Every structure is written in C-alpha cells, then in structure tokens.
Amino acid sequence: MNSDEAEVIGAGPFDTWLDAMRESLRGDGGTNVPCGDCRGCCVSSYFIPIRPTDAAAAHISPELRVRAPGQPAGHTMMGYRADGTCPMLVNRQCTIYPYRPQTCRDYDCRIFAAAGIDAGGPEKIVINRRVRAWRFTYATDTAERTHHAIRATASFIRHHAAEFPNGRAPTSPTGVAVLAVKSYGVFLDPAVGALSDREKANAIVVASRAFDTPEHEPPTRALF
Ligand code: SF4
Ligand code: SF4
C-alpha cells in the first residue's frame, strides 16, 4: 500500500453490526470482529476488568490484579506492562485465549467507527488506526441515515456535556460511543431540530434509560 493511501478494511453491513452491538450491550450475545492479525486491544494500556464469573480469574496471578474500584469484593482489574501491553500477551498471542475475560470477548472497536470518534489518545494509536480503516456497507438508505444519527448523537454528547442533567455526560470515548448507540433514535426524529440543546440532552438520557429497560423502549426504527 502506498503510504499516501489510507488503509481500508471492511466492517460489514452496518445494520447487521448495529443489531448485534445493541444485543451485546444488553448482555444478549456479542459481535464477531474480523480482527485479522490486529492486536490493538491487547497493546493499548487498558485495565481489564476480571469478574468473579470470568474463567480468566483462575488463570491470572493475583499479583497482576488490583481490586476494581467501586465494585463488590471479588471484582478485580488487570493492569498492563510499561509498554502498554497486556501481561497475558506473549509473542503477539494471548496465552489465556480460551479463558480470556468477558471484556476481551465483548470488545469491538467498530463502535468508535460507528460513532465517528477515536478510541483514545496516543496510547490507543493501534486501535485508532483500525478505527479509521473500518468501512461499513449500507444495504438501505435507512442504514446510512442510522449511522449518521449515531455520529450526530456522539458529537452532541461530546460538545454539550453541560446540557445534561447535573452537567454530567460521558467523557471517555467508550462512554460516548455506547450512549450514542443506545440513544441515536433522538437524532433520527425529524423533530429533533426544533428541540433546544437541553431538551436534546434530556431526550438522550430518556432514550438510554429506555434502552436499559427494553420493555419501555419505543420502536426506534419506526421513527423514520
Ligand atoms: S482493535 Fe479492533 S480489530 Fe484490533 S484486535 Fe481489538 S477489536 Fe480487533
Ligand atoms: S487477556 Fe488476552 S485477549 Fe485480553 S487483553 Fe490480554 S492478551 Fe488480549
């Protein structure tokens, strides 16, 4: 590849990815990331939560873990080496792959591509490169408009934190992207243009709560 050419990697059909991601966020399944030889997640200075239910807990030395702040006893976090790599990574292979933590199984960097943001700063450079390379396909105009709505929601969250209740909105890239995927229906509604920024922020919070209690969630795709 010419150094002037941007790398492009197929991310798959957007609507299929979105359905799987929303199911994953509800704890009902997961996505299947075509990672290839990328090891971005394993080299990017992430603290990895180890839940008591994770088989990984029996395969990771307690010396590599600290208690997870704000979590009940038994929840720990695994840190990373000085170069940002996970202690379980050797020769670019996960040494506990069959037992890797749920967080590693759930991680899908395409959520940042969906939200139109990087995964983080310089310590996430490998992931950011991948995020910028992903290209979704769109089977319908609706799928493309849905992607635009997610990007618009993420941009709003990043630039209008003060409008959210108590002036609090997610600031981490993961928090912004997850909230956008939960609440993008707000920016699909043609009436959104008539809302004040405060009303948009409140609508995002309401939509996110509805997502977390699916029986109350309005049919997002009926908003077209
Ligand atoms: S950064 Fe993305 S593509 Fe790379 S290993 Fe992680 S999830 Fe897979
Ligand atoms: S536990 Fe394995 S999959 Fe998870 S970050 Fe470490 S090396 Fe990567």
Task: Quote the pLDDT of residue 29.
Answer: 75
Q: For atom 2 of ligand 2, which residue has the closest CA? A: 94
User: In this structure, which ligand is nearest to the CA of 96?
Assistant: 2
**pLDDT tens digits along 21-48:** 999 999 877 788 999 999 999 999 999 9
pLDDT of residue 222 exceeding 50? no
User: Who contacts 194 (Cβ-Cβ below 8 Å, separation ≥6)?
Assistant: none
Task: Quote the pLDDT of residue 27.
Answer: 84
Task: Quote the pLDDT of residue 2.
Answer: 53
Q: Is 35 a pocket residue for ligand 1 (Cβ < 6 Å)?
A: yes
Cβ atoms within 10 A of the Cβ of 64, count?
A: 17
pLDDT of residue 60 exceeding 50? yes
| Residue for token pair 């209740």 | 165
Residue of 179, 146, 182 lying closest to 164 (CA atoms): 179
Q: Which atom of ligand 1 is nearest to the CA of 39?
A: 5
Asked if residue 163 lies in contact with residue 200, where contact means CB atoms within 8 angstroms, the answer is yes
- Residue 221 in tokens: 């795709």
Q: Average the pLDDT over 190-205 and give the result.
A: 96
Q: How far apart are the first and last CA of the chain?
A: 40
Task: Quote the pLDDT of residue 220.
Answer: 43
Q: Average the pLDDT over 60-82 and give the result.
A: 94
Residue whose CB lies within 8 A of the most ligand 2 atoms, among 89, 97, 107, for a mutation test: 89
Q: Is 38 a pocket residue for ligand 1 (Cβ < 6 Å)?
A: yes
**pLDDT tens digits along 5-21:** 679 999 999 999 999 99
**pLDDT tens digits along 154-173:** 999 999 999 999 989 999 99
User: In this structure, which ligand is nearest to the CA of 125?
Assistant: 1
Cβ atoms within 10 A of the Cβ of 8, count?
A: 11
- One-letter amino acid at 71 equals Q
Q: Average the pLDDT over 182-207 and give the result.
A: 96
pLDDT of residue 206 exceeding 70? yes
Per-chain mean pLDDT for the chain:
92
Q: For atom 1 of ligand 1, which residue has the closest CA? A: 40
Q: Average the pLDDT over 45-62 and give the result.
A: 94
| Residue for token pair 């994953």 | 24
Higher pLDDT, 215 or 52: 52
Cα separation of 77 and 85, whole Å?
14
Q: For atom 3 of ligand 1, which residue has the closest CA? A: 35
Q: What spacing in Å lies between the alpha carbon of 42 and ligand 1's midpoint?
A: 8
Q: Which residues line ligand 2 (CB under 6 A)?
A: 41-42, 48, 86, 88-89, 94, 96, 100-101, 104
Asked if residue 150 lies in contact with residue 207, where contact means CB atoms within 8 angstroms, the answer is no
User: In this structure, which ligand is nearest to the CA of 127?
Assistant: 1
